[in-house]
A and B are shown apart, each in its own frame.
Chain A
Amino acid sequence: NAGVTQTPKFQVLKTGQSMTLQCAQDMNHEYMSWYRQDPGMGLRLIHYSVGAGITDQGEVPNGYNVSRSTTEDFPLRLLSAAPSQTSVYFCASSFGLAGVGEQFFGPGTRLTVL
């Protein structure tokens, strides 16, 4: 099993550009989530999903959209990039629907917005 995969690993955007961060898992997990990690802030939840077609907002959802058309994929879209979105983005998945079990993380995407 590949586990949780994320692409790209690195990305540089200009302010106002849009892009999609890809996330896929092959463990048949229902629960998937996106976090951002900034220095001194810990991981903060952006959006999460408890199954195909079901998504909900986390702690810091503004400026981001998600969709979940399949169990495997959970892409994160930046609508109009801003320097404040410079961060490391982690996708995670877990068994069950409650999102409180062991989280399996992808390797992360390092995003810089100029």
Chain B
Amino acid sequence: RKEVEQDPGPFNVPEGATVAFNCTYSNSASQSFFWYRQDCRKEPKLLMSVYSSGNEDGRFTAQLNRASQYISLLIRDSKLSDSATYLCVVNIGTGRRALTFGSGTRLQVQP
């Protein structure tokens, strides 16, 4: 089982739609959680951190469910510019000083 798993998609949605992605992680000791965005042939960039209480940034909402070991990303009122790959990132708590990246979920917002 992969340490961090995501549905690769693609998720094809119309402009204005609401779309949600989930990501599961295998280690219950995981401590830090993030969503990164990666545009085609570009480097990943931090979209938002995920806190235990959840957090919201404009149209984006991230939540953590420790009991079921998953994090989610909700995008409301999708824009064409939201088209990208969204990477789930976790510090899996093995003592290695690094983050573990999921393989990403591709979102395509269509006009």
Residue B101 lies at the interface, judged by CB distance under 8 Å to chain A: yes
Q: Is A108 an interface residue (CB 8 A)?
A: yes
Q: How many residues of A contact B (CB 8 A)?
A: 24
A-B contact count (CB 8 A): 53
Asked if A42 contacts B46 (CB within 8 A), the reply is no
Which one of A13-21, A65-73, A77-85, A92-100 is at the B interface?
A: A92-100
A40 x B103 contact (CB < 8 A): yes
Task: Name A's B-contacting residues (CB within 8 A).
Answer: 31, 33, 35, 40-45, 48, 50, 56, 58, 90, 97-100, 102-103, 105-108
Contact B46 A102 (CB under 8 A): yes
Residue B4 CB within 8 A of the other chain: yes
Taking CB atoms, residues of chain B closer than 8 Å to A42 are 4, 87, 101-104
Please report B residues at the A interface, Cβ cutoff 8 Å: 4, 8, 31-32, 34, 36, 42-46, 49, 87, 91, 96-104
Given contacts A42-B87, A42-B102, A42-B104, contact A48 B43 (CB under 8 A): no
5 A-B contact pairs sorted by A residue (CB < 8 Å): A40-B103, A45-B96, A45-B100, A99-B97, A107-B43
Q: Is the CB of B87 within 8 A of A40?
A: no
CB-based nearest B residue for A97: B97
CA distance A35 to B99 in the complex (A): 11
A107 to chain B, nearest CB (A): 6
Please give the distance in Å from B41's CB to the nearest CB on chain A. 8
- A100 and B91 contacting across the interface, CB-CB below 8 Å: yes
Known: A99-B97, A100-B99, A103-B99. A43 touches B43 (CB 8 A): no
| B101 partner residues in chain A, CB cutoff 8 A | 35, 42-44
